[in-house]
Structure 1
């Protein structure tokens, strides 16, 4: 149960509906938004939230979801249930495209997730698409009737093909006859030389001057706007033109017959097709809710099938969107209601955010139970309620004879009658609108009824007795909207645990109320009340201070844990680096010893070859053994020194770059550098970092002239290096460079270019300037053919344009348009 009837308007959900409708692609989704209702079914709500969450992933991670054609053809399908009715070409084309979209969506949702090795990455949406028919044969039949532009094909039936061929032949015959009549008239001087047949009311006619209209036998169909030209249908082609009209009527009847036959075959499948469109409507609905969730940073909280509010960083979505336009952010709300803390009494200063807090709870809970994601932190928990009641705003009604307090009492009566342990009540300014003492007493009595019925609720008030009630009774808890006493401004933060002060004295003093008035008011209310209010402010202030301290300690502890973990990681990396240094140093020492052994053996072999005496040989061996021992000792000392130095350097790097992973320093080894011959004239070289090989032609100081193929360039010597390879013959490269920006600009220009130019009514110089720009642009964007509309008239404009086109090198041919499409009134220009 939702109370009252204008509940959605009070919490702002009517605006949410409109925002969702704006994101729908068709009336299919808009109807679902209109029909969206509050639910308390846990499984249904959980499934809806899962569907939206999965679709949000599709929007953010996929780029090929098929949402091109969402057409609502349900009214057309319902109309053709009657025998003899048929879908017209446009309706059939919309049916074909939307059926294709349904088919593609079903395939998309039923695809397997190869990366995750699971059946589908979107299980809830796949379940939604599980038994939806996709009608591939129906799509194929429509493809046999319509072309890609949605027009009936010539070969849709044999009769239609025959009719259209005869229509084309008759039109061609008329054109030939008219041209013959026109040439005779031109030779007799009845018609100007540059006049061509034109079309009027679907009939081919000849333009003639009014004074000469009786020279050509026929029917006058029309005259030009200026009255200087009449359009005559020669008698010789009247019958042929009549035949064209007959053929056009036959063509239309055949098209209707084809569409009627198809509609007859479609009729038995209409119930299944309508079911598929319900699926398309649901996808449009889910898509709209997903885009709204992304816009408001909404998520699915941890949903529980119980009565619970445990929200962290909850945000009012409409307030969030409104403030975002001005570059501001909403202060989030933390609120918790559970079995032991069911009713929250919020107090605090006026304009401190109490009503916003109340509306946030009502709107987000209603959105959630309408199957929408809500803006809060992902660690939040949310439950479900069977009833939601709200009493907010002034419900005065002259028609119903209700005062403000009467309307509040009416709402209290309904809530007391219907609330239970599954209800959520939201009351603003509880007990207000009447004399404070009796109003507060009635409010406390009603609050006791709510508490006894285990009802959940959020209530705002200024009454002290309600604050005391919350302190003295289980299930009810105080909350305060915080206020900065020094800056004298609200903080819009909710703190649960203590009541809030109204800060009436402070606000009055800030506004500038005389000090004697404030003193008299304080004396009237009594020092005990003023002191109690002051103590309450101090408690709130101290609690806020210690809460800040606790947060600071938590942050420092977290920072300390992160620092310890980072140092442990760095020490582990240090130990690994030390092992690698030792290993590398040992390998270097071993290599040095092997080289020494080779030298020793070589010395001994030399001694043997010299046939030295045994004693001298023995002495040489001893000397070499001493030499080997000295090398080993020196290597050990060097190794120890190198390790110490490397470790010291590594520690310094760790200090300088705490958060970056260091590469292990390599052991210093001596590398012999081969002697590099200087670069001279005739040397094959290449620029460092490049592969092109050139030949040095001349050296002047620190610069050299190098030939890379046919190109000579001046390069500094220190940028060159010798190359043993001969220069490769390079293909000539284009010197023109087109930037990406220019390329994109040309592409956009080509897309927006119109192939027809209308210069009718212009003066000669204006028309030539327009044609010049038009032809230049056409050549620039690569058009093959364009048309210039200049009209027939006296023919001067046509002659000027033709003369100019003959001078343009990019124009291959300029000729009259086909008589059926404008004749001499249009010049067709073929471009090179």
Structure 2
């Protein structure tokens, strides 16, 4: 059931019909568009949608689909049911071409005789194949029509022996007339009666000669006509009058023979008319499906996951008419995400005027109606759609002078019909629920009606500004609030639906934007009271905060995706590294095998020399033993050499991998290092540098395992095992000056940073990634300033933050040890970190 009668006009489906008609190839498909109706049969709707989706594939993937000739000759076929009636040449020609199209479509959709064993399930277009399954084609009829019509649709000369005789006589008589006229014309031109460029012409089906009025007496014959200017008369010479009369007779005979042929052929067709009309129903259906497919391509429509129950779970749904309208101005529609299910059957949408509430309502109504008419709908493919037994809509102003109905009365009439007819399989769509009368009683009646809808288990989408309906949705199961979002800072609607919270009307903000005097706004605020204004403000804040956190959540998802991609990239690089390692090992084994083979050859050669020298057995044994020792020694050397080679290559690959991962690492000094010097102990006054760094300093004093080193103007404590003795070149005054120069500004900043540095950091309440980032900066600063011990306050909680931080600390080279703080000072809630 669809209510009211102008339902299609209210949701814009009449425009959809008009667009579909424009895409049809003939009146066959247009009639199908007019007959398209709402259905609640899951089987039928699913089949219709499958047919359209298959035809979309045909349009996008096939080039040979036969859609050239879609002619509607049904009126002509129905006419010849009467005895004695016949199809004329054009009608017969259209019948032939359209029957050929039906035959070719059936061939396209149905396997050839060679593929008869192919099952329907293997067909690329199973739904369309089922549609074409019982359709009859008429190959013999097509052949017979082609035997009597030429390629231009005219009756052939050999359609009958009598027609052939008539046309031959016509040609002969016309030839004799032409020759006679040519003779008369040449004679008249020679005598100057007619100009040289004049040729015979046709008047009333008779060949005549154009002559000037003053010379018409010069040529004997019948005057048939004169030009509009009166400067030319057309004379039929007496010599050809009889021949022209004979042509007229033959033309009459030709027409009668053609009619006889067409009448006889129509008599042959007459018994087959019902079957032919059935085939044209198939052609009409194909034209209709084709139009829906082209419209679906134009609007990017798809078949959602269809379920035989009441559900509405749409993602990125788009109003197709709005989409086409905005596309003309290079604009895009804001897609709609909406969900109705057994737990939230009725959605109460609130929000500012011109915020998109009515568009949302119409989008739901139009797309659901399109779907149940067998049309794909523009939404994301992960959407789920159900079926409803009836759809009711109340939108717009329905006041009627004739029926003595006001706007509110018409709304109440609609409410009465809906309450009487709706059930758990109904979908109701109501715009501005309760509007049109005094707000308090209007809101109360609307709430009472909404209560009845909810009790009946009805599904629906309702827009309103009434606070009591928003409260009803919060307090009753099955009803849920939704808000059309509004940017309070830019003062513009976002046209986005957000389910879960009611929306604000932003009445005060919109009034202020329009320019209403501030004192008027203040008076209005005072009239409704601060409680109402604050409640509306709190509602706006809730919506704003939810939008903020939703954006945060989306950003987190985006970063997680980026992180997953990065991990996948590194895993791929590790696999490549492992592959390279295996390749190096394989090459090393090959080289070792080659060396062993050469060694064996050397051994055999030595033995041969010994034998040739005819040495005694003891000497031979000693020689073999020496060679065996040589072989083992070579194997050991080669093995060590290959392992060193592999280690060097692996080290190079690891270094390359580390350079890719660590973007902060800077290029090292490019001066080539000489041979590794002998390691010398660190003593007072010796030039040293920290391992892995280039800055050269001087040891001032050594205290146990620590040393005091002066790097330029900075004095710092460093562990002895972190220092290495410099070569004479590195320790030159020039090198020391260059590598340890620090500006006075830098010294001041470092000194100030050390004075202000706090050895405790509190990360309680932070998210994991935020806490790790804060701890990273904190540890870096502590190492830079030479701090020995710091404390990290992370709390106990679930222990996740503590685990993350300690996992990070275990990967920092500058961290020597970390442990829980003493129980008296915080225990497991604080991690104490000792730095190198």
TM range (shorter): 0.7 to 0.9
Report the alpha carbon displacement of residue 410 of structure 1 after superposing the two structures with TM: 1.1
Partner of 1:111: 111
Partner of 2:321: 318
Count of equivalent residues: 656
Partners of 2:235 and 2:592 in 1: how far apart? 110
Partners of 2:126 and 2:588 in 1: how far apart? 57
Report the alpha carbon displacement of residue 473 of structure 1 after superposing the two structures with TM: 1.2
Picking from 519, 538, 541, the partner of 1:538 is 541
Partner of 2:61: 61
Conserved 8 A contact 2:433-2:464: yes
2:240 aligned with 1:261, yes or no?
A: no
Report the alpha carbon displacement of residue 557 of structure 1 after superposing the two structures with TM: 2.8
Partner of 2:102: 102
Report the alpha carbon displacement of residue 513 of structure 1 after superposing the two structures with TM: 2.2
Partners of 2:44 and 2:187 in 1: how far apart? 83
Q: Secondary structure at the match of 1:204?
A: strand
Report the alpha carbon displacement of residue 190 of structure 1 after superposing the two structures with TM: 4.1
CA displacement 1:173-225 (0-9 Å, x = unmatched): 22222233334444445445555444444333334444443333222334456
Partners of 2:125 and 2:593 in 1: how far apart? 60
Partners of 1:208 and 1:601 in 2: how far apart? 126
Partners of 1:630 and 1:433 in 2: how far apart? 105
Conserved 8 A contact 2:111-2:118: no
Partners of 1:449 and 1:617 in 2: how far apart? 114
Report the alpha carbon displacement of residue 495 of structure 1 after superposing the two structures with TM: 1.3
Report the alpha carbon displacement of residue 87 of structure 1 after superposing the two structures with TM: 0.7
Consecutive unaligned residues in structure 2, runs of 5 or more: 662-836
Report the alpha carbon displacement of residue 40 of structure 1 after superposing the two structures with TM: 1.0
2:366 aligned with 1:363, yes or no?
A: yes
Partner of 1:519: 522
Partners of 1:369 and 1:308 in 2: how far apart? 13
Sort the Cα spacing of 1:400 and 1:655 in 2 relative to 1 into closer, same or farther, 3 A.
Answer: farther
Query: What does 1:422-433 correspond to in 2, within 5 Å?
Result: 422-433=425-436
Query: What does 1:114-129 correspond to in 2, within 5 Å?
Result: 119-129=122-132
Partner of 1:574: 577
Report the alpha carbon displacement of residue 567 of structure 1 after superposing the two structures with TM: 3.1
Partner of 2:412: 409
2:333 aligned with 1:333, yes or no?
A: no
Partner of 1:565: 568
More off after superposition, 268-277 vs 200-209? 200-209
Partner of 2:767: none
Sort the Cα spacing of 1:22 and 1:195 in 2 relative to 1 into closer, same or farther, 3 A.
Answer: closer
Partners of 1:488 and 1:106 in 2: how far apart? 59
Picking from 395, 418, 424, the partner of 2:421 is 418
2:2 aligned with 1:2, yes or no?
A: yes
Query: What does 1:366-765 correspond to in 2, within 5 Å?
Result: 366-587=369-590, 590=593, 639-640=642-643, 643=646
Partners of 1:494 and 1:580 in 2: how far apart? 58
Q: Secondary structure at the match of 2:122?
A: coil
Partner of 1:52: 52
Partner of 1:343: 346
Partners of 1:601 and 1:542 in 2: how far apart? 87
Structure having the higher Rg:
2
Report the alpha carbon displacement of residue 647 of structure 1 after superposing the two structures with TM: 5.1
Conserved 8 A contact 2:120-2:126: no
Report the alpha carbon displacement of residue 437 of structure 1 after superposing the two structures with TM: 0.8
Report the alpha carbon displacement of residue 291 of structure 1 after superposing the two structures with TM: 1.1
Partners of 2:384 and 2:47 in 1: how far apart? 17
CA displacement 1:80-123 (0-9 Å, x = unmatched): 11111111111111111111111111111123899999531111
Partner of 2:87: 87
Partner of 1:234: 237
Sort the Cα spacing of 1:229 and 1:431 in 2 relative to 1 into closer, same or farther, 3 A.
Answer: closer
Q: Secondary structure at the match of 2:485?
A: strand
Picking from 298, 302, 309, the partner of 2:305 is 302
More off after superposition, 482-491 vs 213-222? 213-222
Q: Secondary structure at the match of 1:490?
A: strand
More off after superposition, 530-539 vs 420-429? 530-539
Partners of 1:144 and 1:653 in 2: how far apart? 81
Sort the Cα spacing of 1:89 and 1:515 in 2 relative to 1 into closer, same or farther, 3 A.
Answer: same
Report the alpha carbon displacement of residue 142 of structure 1 after superposing the two structures with TM: 0.7
CA displacement 1:701-748 (0-9 Å, x = unmatched): xxxxxxxxxxxxxxxxxxxxxxxxxxxxxxxxxxxxxxxxxxxxxxxx
Q: Secondary structure at the match of 1:367?
A: helix
CA displacement 1:645-700 (0-9 Å, x = unmatched): 66567668878999xxxxxxxxxxxxxxxxxxxxxxxxxxxxxxxxxxxxxxxxxx
Please give the TM-score of this superposition, normalised by the length of structure 1: 0.73
Partners of 2:36 and 2:164 in 1: how far apart? 50
Sort the Cα spacing of 1:219 and 1:601 in 2 relative to 1 into closer, same or farther, 3 A.
Answer: farther
Q: Secondary structure at the match of 1:58?
A: helix
Partners of 1:21 and 1:397 in 2: how far apart? 32
Q: Secondary structure at the match of 1:84?
A: coil
Report the alpha carbon displacement of residue 546 of structure 1 after superposing the two structures with TM: 2.1
Report the alpha carbon displacement of residue 31 of structure 1 after superposing the two structures with TM: 0.7
Sort the Cα spacing of 1:180 and 1:451 in 2 relative to 1 into closer, same or farther, 3 A.
Answer: same
CA displacement 1:381-434 (0-9 Å, x = unmatched): 111111111111111212211111111111111111111111111111111111
Q: Secondary structure at the match of 1:522?
A: helix
Report the alpha carbon displacement of residue 233 of structure 1 after superposing the two structures with TM: 2.5
Sort the Cα spacing of 1:339 and 1:215 in 2 relative to 1 into closer, same or farther, 3 A.
Answer: same
Report the alpha carbon displacement of residue 568 of structure 1 after superposing the two structures with TM: 2.9
Partner of 1:77: 77
Report the alpha carbon displacement of residue 4 of structure 1 after superposing the two structures with TM: 1.1
Q: Secondary structure at the match of 2:548?
A: helix
Partners of 2:158 and 2:633 in 1: how far apart? 101
Picking from 160, 180, 183, the partner of 2:183 is 180
Sort the Cα spacing of 1:595 and 1:327 in 2 relative to 1 into closer, same or farther, 3 A.
Answer: farther
What value does the CA root-mean-square deviation take over the aligned residues? 3.2
Report the alpha carbon displacement of residue 551 of structure 1 after superposing the two structures with TM: 2.4
2:19 aligned with 1:19, yes or no?
A: yes
Partners of 2:550 and 2:118 in 1: how far apart? 46
Query: What does 1:130-279 correspond to in 2, within 5 Å?
Result: 130-192=133-195, 195-223=198-226, 229-279=232-282
Q: Secondary structure at the match of 1:400?
A: coil
Partners of 2:656 and 2:155 in 1: how far apart? 76
Conserved 8 A contact 2:349-2:502: yes
| Higher relative contact order, structure no. (Cα contacts within 8 Å, ≥ 6 residues apart) | 1
Q: Secondary structure at the match of 2:429?
A: strand
Q: Secondary structure at the match of 1:564?
A: helix
CA displacement 1:810-829 (0-9 Å, x = unmatched): xxxxxxxxxxxxxxxxxxxx
Partner of 1:285: 288
Q: Secondary structure at the match of 1:68?
A: coil
Partner of 1:40: 40
Consecutive unaligned residues in structure 1, runs of 5 or more: 659-832
Partners of 1:485 and 1:98 in 2: how far apart? 62
Report the alpha carbon displacement of residue 359 of structure 1 after superposing the two structures with TM: 0.9
